[in-house]
Amino acid sequence: MTKKLQNPSEFPAVDPVRIPTSRDFSNGVDVVSVSKSFGSQVVLEDISFHLAGGQGLCICGPNASGKTTLLRIMAGLLQPDAGAVQICGFDVKSQARQAKAMLGAIFHKSMVYPQLTAIENLRFFARLYGVRDSTARMQELLEQTALMPYRYDKAGVLSRGIMQRLAIARALVHRPNVLLADEPFTGLDADASKHLITILNHFKDEGGTIVMTTHDVNLSLHCCGHVAVLDKRKLIFNAKISEIDAAAFARDYLLYARENNWAASATP
């Protein structure tokens, strides 16, 4: 018996008529003094950063440091206790519909339907977002993510690497201005990681803004122009990669991780 199709619970819901017909990347992302607690546990404290269009930020840090919580706040899936987030000039709280129309998101779950083929998934999300010229857009994404050979395969049988490509295509189907990616390299082999870096860099080179989290600082240095470290509730480091010694930063990051007993979550 076929399982009844239900909408995934964690993708930004969008009114199709609000999707912009032109891409304006000028405003990028603004995170201003964001704080969040769960009961007595403070998870995020006074987090702020700005990214313009065409820029990428990779946030590194240990497990349970608040990385995913921050991305969920940026996606409008959680409300901060204090502070604000703007996506391309739209406040995520007071202008949620407009802000979410600008967002694509990749979380730990692929948020695709396993019983549908790759192309059926893209068609479903294209219709959900009211994408114009959806056939051409699906063709473009299948080629860009090298999914063409797998377009008629059901998502549930795809390998981790291929599934991640499909998740990215799903996140980009409505031509978002901003991409949020939570640990996108988890479980990928070297070839799949290299392909993912190419896709992310292509999105950024076209003017898109990326905010990504990862344990692997070395990968972050290849696809983002900015790198930050989130630990003990705060951004303890935030810099342009072009302005630091990347090799020294990677070495110091791993040393800091080991000294603070979260080396298991940092990739050597």
- In total, how many domains does the chain have? 2
Last residue of a domain, one of 118, 149, 175: 175
pLDDT 10s digits, 109-161: 889 999 999 999 999 999 999 998 899 999 999 998 999 999 999 999 999 88
Q: What is the DSSP string of 75-121?
A: TTSS--SEEEEEETTEETTTTHHHHHHTEEEE-SS--S-TTSBHHHH
Residues 192 and 240 in one domain: yes
Residues 91 and 123 in one domain: no
What is the Cα–Cα distance from 15 to 143, expressed in whole angstroms? Answer: 27
Q: What is the CATH number of the domain that holds 227?
A: 3.40.50.300
Residues 122 and 139 in one domain: yes
Residues 135 and 191 in one domain: no
Residues 86 and 187 in one domain: yes
Residues 74 and 159 in one domain: no
Residues 92 and 59 in one domain: yes
Domain extent, residue 200, equals 25-102+178-214+222-262
pLDDT 10s digits, 60-107: 888 888 999 999 999 999 999 999 999 999 999 999 999 999 999 999
